[in-house]
Amino acid sequence: MEAGGLADSLLSGACVLFTLGMFSTGLSDLKHMRMTRSVDSVQFLPFLTTDVNNLSWLSYGALKGNWTLIVVNAVGAVLQTLYILVYLHYCHRKRAVLLQTTTLLGVLVLGFAYFWLLVPDPEMRLQHLGLFCSVFTISMYLSPLADLAKVIRTKSTQRLSFSLTIATLLTSASWTLYGFRLKDPYIVVPNLPGILTSFIRFWLFWKYSPGARQELSASTNLREFT
């Protein structure tokens, strides 16, 4: 196998492995819901938005004929749909959840109708769909910034998942490199915010770790004493 083909295969494998690893972090929420028979402390919107994101990228992969995109997002869509169904089963406020689901899926259907019915040229359709997927993915990566602001205000990283941060960094980095290999800006650009926000989270873990908080408290007490 040529060096270029080997690199493509390794990057493809890394994308599949790291992305499915990131998707599987939801299994802990699934276990929690089944054990407690409730959805307390479990957020629904990330399941829904990730499912829509998977379905969008699945369509892009199918149109592009890229099996890495197809496999990853097909498995991801199945997992997110499973999480959604379990959440609906244990949720008491089903009406609000169903309304959110119906609204977002309605937007997705209208988007697909536009891409497949009103954009007849396959190349132009691929570009429009790629742009939509990129914007949606960027918005998903930037949406937790409000949580990061709360971490800074409270000086506590309890709201953050260290394992998910690692998974997000590895996933975003592998897709960025894979996008460079394919010369596909629609894959490269939306994964750059994932790398950036991951490093911000690592910095917050370091700054507001228990040891760092103790040092900060000791320094404050020393200043007050002097």
pLDDT at residue 176, rounded to an integer = 95
d(C-alpha 108, C-alpha 102), whole Å: 10
Give SS3 for 111.
Answer: helix
Q: Give the C-alpha separation, 167 to 42, whole Å.
A: 19
Place of tokens 């409270």: 154
To the nearest 10°, the Cα dihedral for 190, 194, 199, 202?
A: 170
**93 neighbors 20 (Cβ within 8 angstroms):** no
Does the pTM exceed 0.85?
Answer: no
Tracing tokens 């998974």 back to the chain, one arrives at: 167
Which residue numbers in the chain have pLDDT < 50?
1, 212-226
Cα–Cα distance measured from residue 107 to residue 128, given in angstroms and rounded to the nearest whole number = 15
CA distance 96 to 13: 39
**∠ CA 190-196-201, rounded to 5°:** 130
The secondary structure of residue 117, as a DSSP letter, is: I
List helix spans (H) across 118-226.
122-142, 145-154, 162-182, 185-207, 210-225
Provide the pLDDT for residue 108.
85
Cα-to-chain-centroid distance, residue 210: 27
* Amino acid at residue number 163: S
pLDDT at 212: 43
pLDDT at position 96 is 86
Secondary-structure percent of the chain, ordered helix, strand, coil, rounded to 5: 85, 0, 15
**Distance (Å, rounded) from C-alpha 156 to C-alpha 213?**
9
User: In this structure, are residues 90 and 37 in contact, taking their beta carbons and an 8 Å threshold?
Assistant: yes
Specify the pLDDT at position 219. 42
